[in-house]
Amino acid sequence: MIIREALDEDFPKIWPTFRTVVRAGETYTIPRDIGEASARDIWLKAPLKTYVAEKDGSILGTYKLNVNRGGGGGHVCNCGYMVTPEARGHGVASMMCEHSQGVALELGFKAMQFNMVVSTNIGAVRLWQKLGFDIVGTLPGAFHHPQEGYVDAYVMYKWLAEQT
């Protein structure tokens, strides 16, 4: 598997995973009925960088890296990750998260923050903690899950660089 920067022509291969993840409504705050053109803008046009995890020409996952906030918080980035249903449980998210931390440091970021990790997404919470992220805040009832109703979401944070 390789992780490489996404190209515009990769989006037709990204779209099925994006659509599946977002339409499920269980992890992202993106409107569930988003169309392909708007999804392309969110995933390829707006971020600083977007990457794909690829094996034998198939895209197994993708992530985007953004500035989390500007000004005095401009040293903190934010990432979002999606893995194809077939590739889940095979270490793709872990590899992409580790890769994204290296990219963040190369771009000059000092920390990474996940603004809304849905508490019912137990696998992601466990993985991010394993990779060194701490839950630094709980947002009570901040996410409307399609099956579970209003559930908590976590703010998760990791300092990436040596503090000076």
Report the predicted TM-score, pTM, of the whole model to 2 decimal places.
0.94
User: What does pLDDT average to over the chain?
Assistant: 96
Per-domain residue ranges for the chain? 2-159
Q: What is the mean pLDDT of residues 122-133?
A: 97
138-149 pLDDT tens trace: 999 999 999 999
Fold of 2-159: Aminopeptidase (3.40.630)
Transcribe 97-149 into DSSP letters. HHHHHHHHHHTT--EEEEEEEETT-HHHHHHHHHTT-EEEEEEEEEEEETTTE
10-46 pLDDT tens trace: 999 999 999 999 999 999 999 999 999 999 999 999 9
Q: Which amino acid is at 126?
A: R
Bridge partners, 135 (sequence order): 156
Q: What is the pLDDT of residue 161?
A: 82
Q: What is the pLDDT of residue 163?
A: 56
86-98 pLDDT tens trace: 999 899 999 999 9
